[in-house]
Amino acid sequence: MTGSVAGASRLAEPLVLSGTGQRVTLPNRVLLAPMEGVTDSIFRTLVSELGPLGGAVTEFVRLSVAPASLRVLRAQLGPPLPATPVAVQFMASEPTHLAVSVAHAVRAGAAWIDLNFGCPAPIVFGKCAGSGLLAHPDRIAAIVAAAVAATTLPVTAKLRAGIDAPDRVAELVCAAAGAGAAAITLHARLKVQGYHQPATWSWIATARAALDKAGHRIPLIGNGAVEAPADAARLIEETGCDAVMVGRGALANPWLPSCILGGPTPTPAQAARVACLYHDRLAATAGPRVAGARLKQLIKWYRAGDLFAADPHHRTTLLRGDPAQILAWLAPARGELQLAELPAQ
């Protein structure tokens, strides 16, 4: 077995996350990343319905002045996904409210607990949460240790490679692992790079080597610039990581996790039908205004071989349309997609 074949085969294997008293077995090694304002339970459910998905993580739940309530966490998790374990992700600047929040997450049905040390948003960074903690490995360790002490479920940590340089990446991942993290996800970008700079996968390889050297044989999940099935296999091969987490690549193509595991590429008609389904489910829960805005956002991201239209003029017209126009254009998808112009404004 060689090259990408070996990487793809590895991704199809189960992945075990071990807590202090419980284990969670992910059915494969392709995970859906947490993305604020996007990966709610509706989107996660949609991706899981399109093909096999190893696991998913909720949008982050910010802990500041009080613990997260059971009601909020149940809403974040949404209905259980029969074949896909889902973690609750917390973001905190210190451990104060973590124990109660973790207990509520367990009651709400979280498969495991994830901790956010990577969000680059300025307001988050300024309050020393998310990526703001990358300057403080000791505080990362304290937060991980508090979560581990609060549950027998696995606790994982998601980090970036640093704030403005990757020189402490080994120290950061070992701090989390030494505090009891069951796995670490490393986003191979710096805080200052946001989401627009190319990911540097060699930093993931550095993290894997550092964990191994320190005796931490926990799973390392690689994240960043996985936009096509071949990227996932190559990430495994080049870095030695144990799994991949797909973020914006799944927005561009919600079938990407399935395609990574050998599933077929979607047709334009399938893509259009899924966009309609996404809108209808959102409209039923969040109302038509939110559904329309999110549909337009999805259309903007959607590509994967230009899913809707091969004609560049059609694509441009679609991207410039308002939600009502987009829905009118997609309406035939409930039968058979017709590559027609959007209605004139």
Just list the catalytic residues.
119
Rounded to an integer, what distance in angstroms lies between the CA atom of residue 101 and that of residue 150? 9
Per DSSP, the three-state class of 329 is: helix
Q: Beta strand pairing status for 155-160 and 113-117?
A: parallel
Contacts of 187 (CB under 8 A, 6+ apart): 118, 158, 159, 160, 161, 199, 223, 224
Query: What are the helix (H) ranges across 151-201?
Result: 169-178
Q: Which of 124, 56, 120 is nearest to 89 (CA)?
A: 56
State how far the Cα of 305 lies from the Cα of 322, in Å rounded to an integer. Answer: 23
Give Cα 318 distance to the centre of its chain. Answer: 27
Extended beta strands in the chain, E state? 15-18, 23-26, 30-32, 55-57, 61-63, 86-92, 113-117, 155-160, 183-187, 220-223, 243-246
What is the C-alpha separation between 260 and 292, in angstroms, rounded?
29
Contacts of 332 (CB under 8 A, 6+ apart): 272, 338, 340
